[in-house]
Amino acid sequence: MTFQDYVSEVIKDACEAIDNGYYDYVNDADDLTDEMWCDDSITGNGSGSYTFSTWKAQQNVSDVIWDEEFIDELSYMGIDLGSLMKDGAEAVDVTARCIALTGEAAQSIVDHFNIRKDRANHVWRISLIGGAYPYLITATYEGYSREVETAYEYAACLDEVYDIYTSLINQ
């Protein structure tokens, strides 16, 4: 894999984790990248291995160790490739993924995270007006508004809001 392949794979893994709700508890971008830095399914840094296979790691790093962009990134961070290679292919693989999580990849991931959070927050702004029936239920997405008179209609209305929410998240 080239370094750009690593960047693409880290973005794909991170966005997939976000879409699957693994980071719904995270509130800001700094916390998000900190959590992902240690996530084995994104960088492998938590355990020291993304692949859990020395052979697969060797296959992954066979190109990146010659990749000028990766070598420049290592140099910028003060990491010697020769010393890193002594730690094995899995260490090189994890390091490439961690470096890929910074820069343009981080911005792309944070943008994806923020869009997902904004969509979720936007749809779920539901208001109940009045203490007794009828309730007026509104969700701010696309002017959704509906007045209901029974608990059954109220539940159906919440189902509609949930359908809007899930369709947005899965776009």
pTM to 2 decimal places: 0.71
Tokens of 13: 């893994």
Q: What confidence score (pLDDT) does residue 140 get?
A: 45
Domain range annotation of the chain? 3-115, 124-169
Mean pLDDT of the chain: 82
**Whole-number Å distance between alpha carbons of 43 and 97:** 5
**Whole-number Å distance between alpha carbons of 152 and 148:** 9
pLDDT over threshold 90, residue 27: no
Tokens of 104: 């343009």
Q: What is the CA radius of gyration of the chain?
A: 22
Q: Which of 80, 82, 72, 78 is nearest to 103 (CA)?
A: 72
**Whole-number Å distance between alpha carbons of 26 and 98:** 19
**Whole-number Å distance between alpha carbons of 104 and 100:** 8
Mean pLDDT, to the nearest integer, of 55-69? 97
* C-beta separation of 74 from 99 below 8 A: yes
* H helices, E strands: number in the chain: 8, 3
Mean pLDDT, to the nearest integer, of 131-142? 48
